[in-house]
Structure 1
Amino acid sequence: MKEKVLIFWFQRDLRIADNVGLALALAQGIPVYPVFIIDPTLVHEHECIEDRSIDYMHQALVHVNLNLKTYGSRLHGYIGKPLEVFQSLAEQFDIQGIYCNRDYEPAYYQRISILKDQLQGTGILLWDAKDQVIFEQHDILKKDGTPYSVYGAYARKWKEKLQTIQLEAQPAALTNFYQTEWQEFLSLRQLGYLKTDVEFAAYEWDEYQISQYGDLRDFPGKGATTRIGVALRFGTISIRQCVLKAINLSEVWLNELIWREFFKQILYHFPDVEHQPFKKRFETFPWRNNEEEFVCWCLGRTGIPMVDAGMRELNETGFMHNRVRMIVASFLCKHLLIDWRWGEAYFAAKLLDYDLSSNNGNWQWVAGTGCDAAPFFRIFNPLVQAKRFDPDAVYVRRWVPEWEQKDIKPIVDLQEASKRALSVYRQFRESF
């Protein structure tokens, strides 16, 4: 007789503590068999993604595996399509069900729907739980049942609803893991997926930094942001922990966490935004799309110090300060009149903390094509921004050591490019 087990399928929730789906599985009183599945087709679909991102994910998985060792278990890694992996495991075990946590991207809903149908034919049920957000797409709606498309109204409703729930960590019966001899997690490097060395470290809270976030977050030279984006992307930290800290320490940081959920519900209710502007009329916007200027932007060779500093930081580290992200995005879309989708795709390939909904939402916000977007006449002047938020050029000097040389010529005249953008946007608006 085959041994009864429940399977917990790790995806973008690479932690044991405060993991809703895992806690639900462990509470059933049946040994829980932890798995992570590498689907080669999905990896190949995202070949543009930086190796450092996959490397970080791998080391987070190694960390999960070490934690499981404490409980007499381990993380079982498989390569293949999820259905094939689960069918293979069904030959070894009497699978009582599969638990996982929900993602909120269109591709996830399509894959999980198909997988649930396929598994039902084998008698195996799959349950996905809410874990990476406080409120899901149907939790925060207007009185008429439609989704919010303005952040301010959404945030007010979000905060009101927060007062009605008990926000706490999800305890888990950690003794219910499937007991097995521990082994090291399978090496993605040996499989050819890794080429870099990114050191994973469990996120450590700096409460003073969070408390100062509202005052210092806009100054890239101060290193005062929480850099928690990558931990949220891979689920190495719980959103509930973040919100609890924010409630006690920083309203401004809480608002940023709400922006994250706002963009997730936008992507769910309006999945076309993944490839199209939220404001449909912008599909015909007359972008210039100069390829040479785009390459200069990508390489940090525009001759505009703050823009070049941001792009060089991104290319070298996989991170860019949030204020600088807005500056470089505005420069691309407004001063160069290059389609926001070009910039969005470049960020997707380079950012270690890349998240589809936030990346898409923020790019469309800057370009003026998205929901609750910045008005067309809002154009960040990168020189003014540098003077205001990097007055001593600490950040610029770090990434653009040649910035004071007199022979550096910008690829565009900022004043003329700004006038051009205003003219193009205004004419486009008046054409409707």
Structure 2
Amino acid sequence: MKLLFCSLMSLSAVQFVNANPVEQSQVPMDTAVYPLWENYYKIEKSDPQQAEQMLLQISQITPNDVRVWKSLTYLRINQKNNQGALDSIVKARALAPQDESLTLQQAYLLNGLERNAEALELFKSVRDSTNPDTKATAEQAVKNLQGSNDQSGSRVFADVYFSPSYEGRFDLGLFPLKARAGRYFGEGQQGQLYGFASINRDTRSSGNTNPEVLGSNAVIYDDNAAIVGVGVSYQPWLQLPVRAYAEVGGSYDLIDRDRSKFRESINAGLTGYQEWNSDQWCEQAACPNWHTDAYGNIATYSREDYSVLADMRVRTGLGFANNSVQLYGKFHSINDTAHRYYNNFAEAGPGVSWKPFAQFPMTLRVEQLYGKYVTSTPTDVKDTFNNTRVELTIYQGF
């Protein structure tokens, strides 16, 4: 079975092409390679065969420059020459044996060549990585390959998500919790069938204390409900990190909202998440890398009268110590088709994150965001805001 993790191969390719060997390499270079690198970048896309010959010429001059072999690997992947890419990445790993991204890349190439036993061993070698992203990627790949080679391999999963936060603009705390358990389906385990239970509560919403008068004094900031149900999700293209999903269940309002507390809960939509990481800028441990992640979700919700809500977020900035500390800028927007002003805004600002434990998936974030409501703002509500946000996120898969 081929894993077809093309998005990760493309990510690595971006890392290679953005790493300017002339400027960043720690290996002393003969000045003769400078014009060769310049010419290589000029013809890399227009004449890949000539570009490959140029890289091989550079490798004769600076054979210990790992970026030469990384660039050659990227070029050969683009030409669908997996065997050639494997040959060059073996040389890259010999020069940088601690670079886990190269280990993953070699494993993908071996998998593409149907050498799954070798690929499996490489994935296993980074399962205990201190980088949580590498660890999660390797563990999933091991599950996929063991599932294809051994029918007794686990095809079940479970996960827990808990992300309490403080929102300064409302002076409240939010407490979302969701747990799932289910089974993968599909050749690449790209589908999921699962049961779930979730609860969402905030510290300021209050229900109607006088039920005889509808809407008399209920104050609602967030959806305060407990939900139990079943769901299905499917990733149609393994090279594209986008999932379609649908969930059906029953919900119970945790506060009085002048309606029956028991309701159906149906939601369906598309969601996606992707990360990009550059190479570390230098060999020293304190040197940063550039990190970017993007998230998007568009869905319809029965609890919102089936209005469609789109949520998009991008964070980009510097990562330190294998991204355990990040300094970043954030852009976030939400829009809905019901034109509720509080669900139609854009915000941006700086943030910092910290992952204190290498083996425990917990991240603490502090952000200072400045935003604007973009539609249907009431006259008694200011259309701009600032928000100090503190969030603790825990996600654990089993």
Report the TM range for the smaller structure's normalisation. under 0.3
TM-score, scaled relative to structure 1: 0.24
Structure with the largest fraction of helix: 1
TM-score, scaled relative to structure 2: 0.26
Structure with the largest fraction of strand: 2
